[in-house]
Amino acid sequence: MSKKHHAVPPADAPPSTGEENRQPGADLPPAEAAPPPAAEPTAEPAPAPETVLTDRLLRLQADFENFRKRMDREKKDWIAYANEKLVLELLPVLDHFELGLADSAKTEAPAAFTEGFRLIYSQLCTVLEKAGLQPIDAEGEPFDPHIHEAVTQLPADDVPENHVVAQTRRGYKLNDKLLRAAQVVVSSGPGD
């Protein structure tokens, strides 16, 4: 006689439902049985190592060229505006020269003294112009809030409305960048 060994489940195991031995898809009708595995999609062949390396080389060369161009641009900007702080600190000196020269015409200052100051002022202006400083002449021009700072507004018969009547402090640009706005008096049109 043959002895059959039956495994006895432990006492604390859940009762068996027979699901452990079932095959997947066994209870489904034949049409709904698990589909056969699909054919694997055809993968593109891997590019040759030379192609990958050539592509990387071209990208690195382009990146380096862009970096070099950016550095050249930044260097030009740095050179153009390197003197900005110094020039900005010299603007009050120019203002005082202009005020002194305007006042010397009203007073009885010796002509040689006034001419000496005028020459020094002219030389200073020439040096600053070579560095890229450009004065903003505002009188008679239309008011532009980008380069003018309105101090007050006055009626003026000979100046159209919203045009500059007088300039109280000259404005300057350094290499086409506004360094200091011109302080101006703006016309409100003809007076009553």
Express each pLDDT in 34-89 by its tens digit.
555 555 556 677 778 888 899 999 999 999 999 999 999 999 888 878 888 889 99
* Integer Cα distance of 172 and 26 in angstroms: 91
pLDDT class for 122, splitting at 50, 70, 90?
Answer: very high
How far, CA to CA in Å, does 183 sit from each of 123, 124, 144, 169?
24, 22, 11, 5
pLDDT given for residue 105 in this prediction: 78
Query: Residue 9, SS3?
Result: coil
Closest CA to 133 of 170, 175, 83, 98: 175
Across residues 12-38, what is the average pLDDT? 55
pLDDT class for 107, splitting at 50, 70, 90?
Answer: confident
pLDDT given for residue 125 in this prediction: 94
% of the chain with per-residue pLDDT over 70: 77
Whether residue 136 contacts residue 171, with contact meaning beta carbons closer than 8 Å, is answered with yes
For the chain, domains (ranges, CATH) are 134-192 (2.30.22.10)
User: Does the pLDDT value for residue 25 go beyond 80?
Assistant: no
C-alpha angle with apex 164: 105 to 184, nearest 5 degrees?
Answer: 70
Residue 70 CA to its chain's centroid (Å)? 13
Residue 68, φ and ψ in degrees, nearest 5: -65, -45
User: Does the pLDDT value for residue 130 go beyond 70?
Assistant: yes
pLDDT class for 26, splitting at 50, 70, 90?
Answer: low
pLDDT given for residue 20 in this prediction: 55
